[in-house]
């Protein structure tokens, strides 16, 4: 029986869990708040305190992390998101802490893989896109039933596809990325500008649920932009299914709105839309499952 020490590194929290690779069950789990300081030494010390209690029970480490993972090094399309952690040698650092074989992938890619393997067995899904609409917008692609991580770790970073070439400048350097127009952060910014009051995305969404027409139209324009993205990627990649996750993606009515906008398009642009099922541990479980396959070949 192989035991994986799975690690999920996000902007607000970091979780570690022992995962039984045979049953795909979490045996033990702990999480801490991601250090506010983005100094590499402080981040590394936090990782060590999180991982140390689990090391003796684990055979290998599988990390799902925010950002781009290229040859074990953490970077970001928007370097401001990582601050002092840009170009952090994540795999080397965790290997030094644990002395275990260590692998790393992007967190949305890991979640995409777990959503894919959680689809009904013997399904006919070959090409699946996972979209998480939350603080930002991320994703993961499964093509021919294989997760695409990309030679440079970039595959699935759909938040930085352009939906309005005249839109606001994004941290990645382009103008009008969907993340800048439809994410939870964008919903908060649009609401704050419209209502002349500082709101976050959650508060604007609540105003919409309470019936405020302006807030409802902000949520609708987000869902419409996501529907356009889904249609574009469906016709490019022949998607069978799109799984929607994230705090905005799973908020009341959001998936239904996406479906409504897709229903206005010809049938070829309309894949099956599914709400994410795996919940908050999809990154941990997806990374454990994906890298258990590699570990079994070594
Ligand atoms: Zn961008």
The single-letter DSSP state of residue 88 is B
How many Å lie between the centroid of ligand 1 and the Cα of residue 154? 13
Separation of alpha carbons 5 and 201, rounded Å: 33
Residue-range domains of the chain with CATH: 3-110+280-295 (3.30.420.40), 124-276 (3.30.420.40)
Q: What is the CA radius of gyration of the chain?
A: 19
Q: How far apart are the first and last CA of the chain?
A: 15
How many Å lie between the centroid of ligand 1 and the Cα of residue 77? 7
How many Å lie between the centroid of ligand 1 and the Cα of residue 173? 6
Q: Which residues are found with C-beta within 5 Å of the ion, ligand 1?
A: 160, 170, 172, 174, 177
Q: State residue 31's pLDDT score.
A: 95
How many Å lie between the centroid of ligand 1 and the Cα of residue 222? 16
Tokens 């991601």, residue located: 34
Q: State residue 298's pLDDT score.
A: 62
How many Å lie between the centroid of ligand 1 and the Cα of residue 256? 26
How many Å lie between the centroid of ligand 1 and the Cα of residue 178? 7
Separation of alpha carbons 221 and 35, rounded Å: 34
Separation of alpha carbons 250 and 224, rounded Å: 15
Separation of alpha carbons 230 and 263, rounded Å: 12
pLDDT less than 50: residues of the chain: none
Residues in contact with 120: Cβ distance below 8 Å, sequence separation at least 6, in sequence order: none
3-state secondary structure 136-198: CEEEEEEECCEEECCCCCCCCCHHHCECCCCCCECCCCCECEHHHHHCHHHHHHHHHHHHCCC
How many Å lie between the centroid of ligand 1 and the Cα of residue 161? 7
Q: State residue 17's pLDDT score.
A: 98
Helices (H), 213-281: 213-237, 246-249, 254-263
Closest of 117, 123, 102 to residue 147, by C-alpha? 117
Q: State residue 122's pLDDT score.
A: 60
How many Å lie between the centroid of ligand 1 and the Cα of residue 19? 34
Q: How many CB atoms lie within 10 A of CB 210?
A: 9
Give CA separation, 192 vs 66, 175, 214, 251, in Å: 27, 20, 11, 20
SS3 64: strand
Q: What's the pTM value of the predicted model, to 2 decimals?
A: 0.94
The answer to whether the CB of 127 falls within 8 A of the CB of 143 is yes
């Amino acid at each position: 029986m192989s035991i994986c020490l799975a690690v999920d590194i996000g902007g607000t929290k970091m979780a570690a869990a022992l995962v039984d690779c045979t049953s795909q069950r979490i045996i033990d789990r702990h999480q801490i708040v991601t250090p506010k300081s983005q100094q590499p030494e402080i981040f590394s010390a936090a990782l060590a305190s999180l991982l140390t209690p689990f090391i003796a029970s684990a055979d290998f480490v599988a990390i799902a992390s925010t950002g781009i993972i290229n040859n074990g090094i953490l970077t970001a399309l928007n370097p401001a998101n990582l601050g002092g952690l840009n170009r952090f040698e994540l795999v080397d650092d965790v290997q030094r802490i644990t002395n275990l074989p260590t692998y790393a992938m992007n967190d949305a890619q890991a979640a995409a893989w777990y959503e894919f393997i959680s689809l009904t067995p013997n399904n006919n899904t070959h090409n699946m896109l996972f979209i998480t609409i939350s603080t930002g917008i991320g994703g993961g692609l499964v093509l021919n039933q294989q997760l695409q991580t990309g030679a440079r770790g970039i595959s699935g970073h759909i938040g930085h596809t352009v939906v309005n070439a005249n839109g606001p400048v994004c941290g990645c350097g382009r103008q009008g990325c969907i993340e800048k127009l439809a994410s939870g952060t964008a919903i908060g910014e649009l609401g704050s500008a419209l209502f002349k009051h500082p709101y976050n995305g959650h508060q604007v969404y609540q105003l919409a649920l309470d019936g405020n027409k302006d807030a409802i139209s902000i949520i609708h324009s987000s869902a419409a932009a996501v529907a356009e993205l889904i249609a574009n990627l469906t016709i490019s990649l022949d998607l069978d299914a799109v799984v929607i996750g994230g705090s905005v993606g799973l908020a009341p009515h959001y998936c239904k709105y996406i479906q409504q906008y897709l229903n206005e398009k010809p049938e070829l642009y309309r894949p099956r839309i599914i709400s994410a099922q795996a919940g908050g541990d999809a990154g941990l479980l997806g990374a454990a499952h994906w890298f258990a396959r590699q570990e079994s070949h070594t």
